[in-house]
Amino acid sequence: MKSPALIYLITRAHGLSTHLLIQDDYKTLIKSKDLISLVEYLLKSDYGSEISKIPGERLNVSSLSQVIYSVLISRFYHLINIAPSDVKKFLELYAERFIIENIKRILRAKHSSTKISSEALIPIPREYALINFPAMIESITLQDSLELLKATKYYQILDWLSLYRKYEIITILESALDKIYFEKIWKETDKLPDKRETKMIIGSEIDLRNINMILDLRARDISPETILSVSFKPVRLRDEDINQMSRARFDTIPDILARTPYQSLAQRLKEAIESKKLEKIDYIIADEIYNQIKTIMVRYPNSFSFVIGYLIMTEIEAHNLIALITAKELGLKEDEIKEILHT
């Protein structure tokens, strides 16, 4: 039996999901002749109030991306604020993906000793920013930045420092951060309502991110042992699948995937790898996440998984909009834009 507070949250998620852009919106946006007409259309949406604050001369991909991120963040934290206490902690934990993304952005800059400012980070409300980002930005070396994570829930990242030093590539630390994040999330799913459906939705994301990470590290010839140490505990995949993928030659990973519940993904990945279009891998996996989540949301509209699904959809919408804006600025054709959106 669901609590009234949880039913309210699911109902609100349904209500809020009607604010998301639909197929017709995307069609109109794709057809808009330039960035200005695209922005004019967005003025009628949730993005309107934030976009209208940008002066005309500052209207560009960077400023619009900031607006899209701020709307995304406000959507996430709005739902967290109205969530009942039994799921609030989980949702807060779920929203930490933005903190993880910000940590990654700072570590990337520190890795190459490049300057970074707070404008390069996703704007997270102060009360939810668990990390001292200004101090991390100010720190001189990557080691100093990591030291600042010692007193946080991401302290385990320091365990991967030796591996990072061995390979000298930032992807090791980024994968480790994802591992810490997803393992925390997965641990919490046991305490959630509608456990089966929620695990289904979270599990799909974990598996797909795992596949993405393995492909990424295999492409760089990272040793299987290292890959296994940063890979997450699989959900729908078996340990054996992860083990085999970590040891396989990069171009044979889709063949292993073809024997798992991710056959359709395997086919798309195989095509991309065979045609040497590796730049499509991240998109293909993001698209698979979108398709899986959409299916689960449609199948279980009254479960807590719908709330998670809504959050993932807001994130996908943000990516779609940034892609659209960038595509318009670069002058991509309508057909080309359709191919890069998750709709």
Partner 1 sequence: MSVGRVAATKGVLQRLREQLKFIEKGKNVLKMKRDQLAGEINKLLVDIKRRKEVEQLFSDAYESLKYAYTTLGYDTVVSAASAVELMEVRALPTSVMGVIMPDVEIVKRSDPKQVPLITLYSIAERLHRAVEEAIKLAVLEAKIEQLSRELMDTNRKVNALEKVVIPAYQSLIRYIEDRLNEEALEEFFITKHVRDIIRVRRE
- Applying CB under 8 A, the residues found at the interface with partner 1 are 61-62, 65, 69, 104-105, 108-109, 111-114, 116, 120, 122, 168-171, 174, 212, 215-216, 219-220, 277-283, 286, 319, 322-323, 326-327, 330, 332, 337, 340
- Nearest Cα to 189, choosing from 273, 113, 89? 89
109 or 206: whose CB is closer to partner 1? Answer: 109
Q: How far is the CB of 269 from partner 1 (least distance, A)?
A: 11
User: Cα-flanking dihedrals φ and ψ of residue 299, to 5°?
Assistant: -70, -35
Least distance from C-beta 214 to partner 1, angstroms?
A: 10
By beta-carbon proximity to partner 1, the closer residue of 86 and 101 is 101
Residue 158 or 169: the one with the smaller Cβ distance to partner 1 is 169
We find the least distance from the C-beta atom of residue 170 to partner 1, in angstroms, to be 5
Long-range own/partner contacts, residues 180-186 (CB < 8 A, 24 or more apart): 180/154, 180/156, 181/96, 181/97, 181/100, 182/206, 182/209, 182/232, 183/232, 183/233, 184/93, 184/96, 184/153, 185/90, 185/93, 185/94, 186/232, 186/233, 186/235
Q: Work out how close the CB of 129 gets to partner 1 at its nearest, in angstroms, rounded to a whole number.
A: 17
* Among 154, 54, 140, 35, CA closest to 104: 154
* Residue 306 Cβ vs partner 1, minimum distance, rounded to whole Å: 26
Complex with partner 1: residue 89 or 220, whichever CB lies closer: 220
Contact residues for 181 (Cβ-Cβ < 8 A; gap 6+) = 96, 97, 100
Alpha carbons within 13 angstroms on the beta-carbon side of residue 277 total 9
Interatomic CA distance for residues 338 and 331, integer angstroms: 13
In the complex with partner 1, the residue whose CB is nearer, 63 or 86, is: 63
Burial readout 151-174 (b: 16 or more C-beta within 10 A, e: otherwise): eeebeebbebeebbeebeebbbbb
Smallest gap, in angstroms, from Cβ of residue 102 to partner 1? 10
Closer to partner 1 by Cβ: residue 20 or 322: 322
Q: Looking at beta carbons only, is 127 or 279 nearer to partner 1?
A: 279
Q: How far is the CB of 64 from partner 1 (least distance, A)?
A: 9
Radius of gyration of the chain (CA): 20
